[in-house]
Chain A
Amino acid sequence: MTEQIQFQPRITAFLCSWCSYGAADLAGVSRMQYPPNIRIIMIPCTGHMNPKFILQAFRQGVDGVWVSGCHPGDCHYVSGNLFARRRFVVLKNLLEYIGIEPGRLHFTWISSAEAGRFQEKAREVVHAVQELGPISRLVREIGPVREALRQEL
């Protein structure tokens, strides 16, 4: 039994309470299986998303961040996700520009009826972060301690 245990990333998912959170709920109720690496935080709307939240997640050591909201035109607050779309593209480009790997940060639109899509995207996100391995950039850490812990595991 020398097979290596596959790296299990920790992913923070910021899900809009009106759609993607409902999709996650529906996926659960429907007993659809998706990877358990995702920790969900409910937000009122993707328009409420602040780059601070994403950076804070990275700082605290999550390996990936996933933000999901309503399809364009379906926002409960009419246009929150459309404002968010502009901010996301600027932020994603900036983080990639400074050297955060493109696969760490993901954005999707998932409506509350699309449990299947939620399952599929959850798998995609986890797979992408798994390929990249643990995060080392932006993390607020007491360096040697974390490194020692990692080696011990």
Chain B
Amino acid sequence: MLELIEQIRDNARQLLEEGKVHCVIGYRQGSIPMRVQPHFAYSPEETDKMTWSCFCTQNLAKYLIGREEPTAILAQGCVTRNIAGLIQENQVKRENIYILGINSPGMVDYRKVQSKLPGRVIHEVLEENGHLLVRGPGYEEKILKRDVKRDNCYTCNHRNPVIYDQLIGEKGEETGGGNIDKVAAPWENLGPDQRWAKFQDTFKDCIRCYACRDACPLCYCKECFVDESKPQWCGKTVDESDVHTFHILRAFHCAGRCTDCGACESACPMGIKMRRLTSKIEKDIRQMFGFSPGLDTQESPPLSVYRPDDPEEFMLK
């Protein structure tokens, strides 16, 4: 891991020194253990802060939107897929960005680590091969990384960067080991009443902070539907109906574009599992239209094209 960090810093420094790019976007250590922040290096000195770990859960593709100057970005599998998506949607110019591709080790959910050590303070978390070494006041514990991996990283199928200009480290395993079809859309086998109960239960804690929207690289509308006031499609309260409307529309807006990067779940301060909704749409799109988003910069998003023989069974005959 340390070698990779060195390599990231070296490459970033070189790019800035040569004047190839205006800025390098990467990660830096956050102010508390297990959290990292996006880092924007504008000068060679600032690259010393860059880091790489299994806690890099933010999707940096978000920060490419609206950048006019040439920019370099550190991107693992899902981030490169989102960059490809942004190129498809004409939000980012390919010639304007320089992608430092890196294999994703599968990110860790800090909530899962905390739940393994209930009530204990964590001072430091170090990575060893396949393990996390957690240190706190008067204790040191080893946790298997596999047990605390994020749900979406467990079922990931594209850990290696899809598009890149330069590869950092080596390509690694492509899959996380889980089967997405088994875990996607968990309520599918239930009846309407149970589904509704599960849906209510999943989103009951939402405080409408919009962290999920702000973390999502797909959300770049100038005016979001939740901010529209005339007419107001979605109320601003934490009333159940408003919360439900927000999450249904948010999920629908990601239809056919979501790469299952998990940035929304990681950003949520209340620990809401919104992937239970988005995974259903993703599964539908994959099965009905045979489409996985972000694998090519040339293709079109599935909801902006059509075929004469699209499924029609759902309509009244």
Contacts and interface: CB of A to CB of B under 8 A. Distances in A.
Contacts of B242: 140
Contacts of A149: none
B144 interface: no
Contact of A94 (B225, B280, B312): B280
A52 B249 contact: yes
A40 to B, nearest CB: 17
A94 B252 contact: yes
Interface string B240-266: 011011001101100110000000000
Interface residues of B, number: 45
A21 interface: no
Nearest to B306: A82
B314 interface: yes
A18 interface: no
Interface residues of A, number: 39
A91 B185 CA distance: 14
Given A97-B185, A140-B241, A51 B315 contact: no
Nearest to B315: A107
Nearest to B312: A85
B196 A98 contact: yes
Contact of A97 (B188, B285, B314): B188
B233 A94 contact: no
Contacts of A51: 248-249, 252
B199 interface: yes
B195 A125 contact: no
Contacts, number: 109
B200 to A, nearest CB: 8
Given A82-B308, A91-B252, A125 B316 contact: yes
B293 to A, nearest CB: 13
Interface in A126-147: 137-141
Contacts of B235: 140
B288 to A, nearest CB: 7
Given A94-B277, A99-B193, A101-B192, A89 B310 contact: yes
A94 B251 contact: yes
B16 interface: no
B316 A85 contact: no
Max chain A CB contacts within 10 Å: which of B185, B239, B306, B308? B306
B314 A92 contact: yes
Contacts of A83: 303-304, 306
A102 B302 CA distance: 24
A92 B249 CA distance: 13
Interface of B: 185, 187-188, 192-199, 225, 231, 233-235, 239, 241-242, 244-245, 248-249, 251-252, 255-256, 277, 280-281, 284-285, 288-289, 302-304, 306, 308, 310-312, 314-316
Interface of A: 51-52, 55-56, 59, 72, 79, 82-83, 85-102, 106-109, 121, 124-125, 137-141
12 contacts: A82-B310, A86-B310, A89-B288, A89-B314, A93-B280, A94-B248, A94-B251, A97-B280, A99-B197, A101-B192, A106-B316, A121-B316
